[in-house]
Every structure is written in C-alpha cells, then in structure tokens.
C-alpha cells in the first residue's frame, strides 16, 4: 500500500433480514475510526447481493436511506470494487449481521481471494450462525444450556401438528421458544404455550430457515458478556443485564423499543460474574472464534443456574450496542476496540 495508513474496506448491508442493523453498525464504526490511522472504503451490499461503489456507499451510509437501494447491475462499478479489494486494502471489516455475512459465506469469499478480515473465520462463523450445530458443540464440551430439539421442515410435513406439539410439550418445559436455526437479532422467534399458537410460530420461523430450534423456557435473567481476542490472549468484558418489557428480548425490543433497559455492570454475585467469564471463554474456544463475539446467558441466582443461550460472532456495533458498552465498563473505549480488532485480524493472518 502506498501510504502509511491501514486501508480497510467496510462491508455493510447485505442480503439478510438484519440489513438495516448492519447499516447502523457500519455508520458508527466509520465515524469512530481514526482517519489519521485508517483509510476507510465503505462498500455497501444490496439486498440483491450486489456490491456498490465506495462513493455511492458513502452516500448511503450518511443519507436518509434505511437500506441499500435496489439497483441494476449496470450501475455497479464491478471493476472498481475488484481493484479496491486486490490493490488498495489491507483488510476487510465485514459488518454484516445474519445470513450471507455472519455465517461464513463472506469469510469464505475473502479467504478465496486471500484477503484478511476482522472477526471469526469461515468455520467459526458458520457454527456461530447455525444454532443447531452450535448447541451440539456446546453439548460436546459440556457447556450448560437449556433443553432443545432440532426440527426440520421435512419432518414437520410428515407429522400431524397436534401429535408433534404434544411430543415437544412432553420433552420440553413449556412455554417453549421456536426460532430459525440460522438467524440473528431475535428475528422469527415465537413463544409457544398452547397448540393454538404452534402453527403460526412454525410458519413464522420457517420464513427464515428450513431448520428450527425448539428450546425449553428458562426462568432467569438475561445476562450478556463480550469477548475480544484470539488463542490464549482473550479478554472478557463486564457482564450486563437486559431488562425488557416484552415477553422476551425480540427484534422490536432490541432495536425499536426505547423502554428496554441495559444495566451495566449486571447486579449479580461476584462468583457468578466469574462463572460467566469462564463460560464465555469456553464457548468462544469451543467454536474456534477469534476477534469478536458476544455471548448471551440465562442466570437464576436463587437456583444457582447459569445457562448459555448463544454466541454471536458479529454482534451489533453501534455506540449504543451491548458489545462496546460492556467493554467500556472495563475501560476499553469504542475506538480502542476497533484498533484491537484490526490488530488481531492483521496478526491472525500472518
């Protein structure tokens, strides 16, 4: 590279249902990067999967649009994008949440081009996205979690719904949660108590994936932690608690409902704080994660129960998102997080 700055392509948007969240994260990241240390090339990806030139991407990033507009292939400067990726950048920061960004697909694409990138590799990203595989791996490593079942669309088609519902009700504690195996931001999740709501919950979840997770309900507080690092150099943030007025912490509660409260640090015992740190590191290593992850737990202090819910390998990254706020509590600023993520990516790729 011709200058002394680190050149970064900032990917955002993408084909998933978390498209709008990605734009919010990318906007915060772009603004926070030191322009003295970094040259940032914003590259938007439309919901059709088209890469948009940096000039147009910057207009999208700082315009009024909430999503990358659908455009014709003739308007996309493919050669400019290729030139940037091949000749101008040191690494990519793929701020892409959900399928086609957080699931290993973009990581595999960048691996093929021999381009360094921030965050987990193809395998860890895929495992972190597919909750069915994630939960099987957590089971293998004896990381405590709620009871669950995996349900595929073809299995549902072969059974009568009342019989299927009764089997799940016998196996799992009601109410249980139905969620797409490959989706984030709590999209497509439903809480099911009775047969009457079962069909609608299946229909909603199958909009996003052909494989579902059915989980027992857990009586406990929703506690989160954040992880930064790789190998044996891993830092765990303070723990934070989510208090929502909703039945559960769904997409509406995460991004649109101002009544949701984040308490940092979480008011739990020191012993449980240490246990969450230990489980965070174990889960991070279990899937082979690197760089960045946020972990969600259920904590019931009365019954001395801590269960992992999931790991998120590219969490929301606005200045008001849980991941940076959790590290802020332990003295690591938003800008310092970005610096460290870049350093980890460059070191990992050597």
Annotation: binding site: 131, 177-179, 185-186, 215-222, 296, 309-310, 312
- What distance in Å separates the CA atoms of residue 167 and residue 156, rounded to the nearest whole number? 12
- What distance in Å separates the CA atoms of residue 315 and residue 280, rounded to the nearest whole number? 15
185 is catalytic: yes
Instruction: Select from 318, 327, 296, 345 the least CA-distant residue to 18.
Output: 318
Output the known binding site for Mg(2+): 296, 310, 312
- What distance in Å separates the CA atoms of residue 8 and residue 27, rounded to the nearest whole number? 14
Q: How many CB atoms lie within 10 A of CB 113?
A: 11
Catalytic hit among 22, 25, 28, 321:
321
Output the known binding site for ATP: 131, 177-179, 185-186, 215-222, 309-310
Return the percent helix, strand and coil in the chain, to nearest 5: 40, 25, 40
Catalytic hit among 16, 18, 190, 230:
18
Torsion of CA 250, 251, 252, 253, to 10 degrees: 50
DSSP state of 68: P
Catalytic hit among 46, 146, 185, 237:
185
- What distance in Å separates the CA atoms of residue 145 and residue 135, rounded to the nearest whole number? 8
Instruction: Select from 175, 341, 329 the least CA-distant residue to 241.
Output: 329
- What distance in Å separates the CA atoms of residue 99 and residue 130, rounded to the nearest whole number? 10
- What distance in Å separates the CA atoms of residue 83 and residue 57, rounded to the nearest whole number? 16
What residues form DSSP beta bridges with 8? 40, 91
192 within 8 A of 201, measured Cβ to Cβ: yes
Active site residues: 18, 185, 321
């Amino acid at each position: 590279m011709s200058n002394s700055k680190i050149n970064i392509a900032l990917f955002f948007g993408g084909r998933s249902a978390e498209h709008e969240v990605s734009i919010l994260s990318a906007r915060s990241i772009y603004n926070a990067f030191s322009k003295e240390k970094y040259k940032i090339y914003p590259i938007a990806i439309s919901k059709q999967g088209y890469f948009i030139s940096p000039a147009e991407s910057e207009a999208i990033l700082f315009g009024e649009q909430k999503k990358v507009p659908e455009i014709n292939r003739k308007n996309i400067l493919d050669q400019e994008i290729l030139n940037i990726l091949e000749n101008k950048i040191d690494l990519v920061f793929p701020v892409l949440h959900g399928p086609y960004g957080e699931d290993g697909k973009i990581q595999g694409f960048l691996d093929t081009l021999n381009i360094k990138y921030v965050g987990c590799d193809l395998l860890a990203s895929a495992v972190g996205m597919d909750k069915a595989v994630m939960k099987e791996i957590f089971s293998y490593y004896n990381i405590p979690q709620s009871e669950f079942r995996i349900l595929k669309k073809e299995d549902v088609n072969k059974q009568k719904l009342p019989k299927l519902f009764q089997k799940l009700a016998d196996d799992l504690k009601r109410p249980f949660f139905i969620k797409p195996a490959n989706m984030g931001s709590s999209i497509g999740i439903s809480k099911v108590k009775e047969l009457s709501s079962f069909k609608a919950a299946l229909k909603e979840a199958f909009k996003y994936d052909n494989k579902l997770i059915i989980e027992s309900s857990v009586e406990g507080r929703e506690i989160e932690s954040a992880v930064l690092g790789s190998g044996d150099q891993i830092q765990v943030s303070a723990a934070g608690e989510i208090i929502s007025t909703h039945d559960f912490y769904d997409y509406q509660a995460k991004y649109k409902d101002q009544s949701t409260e984040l308490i940092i640090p979480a008011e739990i015992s020191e012993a449980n704080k240490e246990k969450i740190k230990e489980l965070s590191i174990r889960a991070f290593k279990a899937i082979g994660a690197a760089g960045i992850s946020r972990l969600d737990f259920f904590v019931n202090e009365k019954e001395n129960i801590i269960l992992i819910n999931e790991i998120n390998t590219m969490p929301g990254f606005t200045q008001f998102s849980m991941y940076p706020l959790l590290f802020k509590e332990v003295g690591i600023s938003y800008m310092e997080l970005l610096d460290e993520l870049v350093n980890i990516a460059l070191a990992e790729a050597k």
